[in-house]
């Protein structure tokens, strides 16, 4: 079943290739950046990998299962906090022309593949991630809706847990 699942890779921005020490404090060394990206290439394009049954102990040739990644959907996410540096030739940030929250932004203001390359992602990796989506911050009203609207919302769950101890939880 795992061969037809979804793998969510968070903090993909942390493996960006960084060559200047001002950004990472690591000087000119590539601490895991390009090497980790290169290692992910085969996995993302679809290959058979050997996954140990128990990752906490040393495993031998017989303590693994083979997993074919061809039909696995990989979703990668990251904050890319200083991505704006590569976007200096386009309008970004807040200005009089910034659309209101929730309104679509002009194409020129959206993240482009070139921005991610300048950030330190390698082109081969980006080629295996064909869809790039940039998300906006939630407004306070949207956050409240996300936390309250679902029938199994976390707010309702905590209110019920506190009610068991005869405590009324208010936000």
**Helix (H), strand (E) at residue 95:** none
Nearest 10 degrees: CA dihedral of 154, 155, 161, 163? Answer: -160
Binned at pLDDT 50, 70 and 90, residue 21 comes out as: very low
Binned at pLDDT 50, 70 and 90, residue 141 comes out as: very high
Copy the structure tokens of residue 130. Answer: 């064909």
**Distance, first Cα to last Cα, the chain:** 41
Binned at pLDDT 50, 70 and 90, residue 168 comes out as: very high
Residue 16 pLDDT > 50, yes or no? Answer: yes
């Amino acid at each position: 079943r795992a061969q037809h699942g979804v793998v969510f890779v968070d903090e993909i921005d942390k493996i960006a290739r960084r060559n200047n020490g001002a950004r990472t404090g690591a000087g000119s060394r590539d601490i895991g950046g390009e090497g980790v990206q290169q290692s992910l290439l085969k996995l993302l394009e679809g290959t058979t990998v050997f996954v140990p049954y128990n990752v906490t102990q040393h495993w031998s040739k017989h303590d693994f299962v083979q997993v074919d990644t061809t039909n696995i959907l990989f979703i990668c996410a990251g904050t890319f906090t200083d991505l704006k540096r590569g976007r200096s030739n386009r309008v970004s940030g807040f200005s009089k022309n910034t659309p209101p929250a929730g309104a679509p932004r002009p194409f020129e203001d959206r993240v482009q593949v070139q921005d991610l390359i300048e950030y330190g992602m390698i082109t081969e990796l980006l080629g295996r991630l064909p869809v790039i989506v940039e998300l906006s911050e939630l407004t306070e009203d949207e956050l409240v809706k996300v936390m309250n609207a679902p029938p199994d919302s976390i707010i309702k769950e905590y209110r019920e847990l506190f009610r068991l101890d005869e405590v009324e939880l208010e936000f």
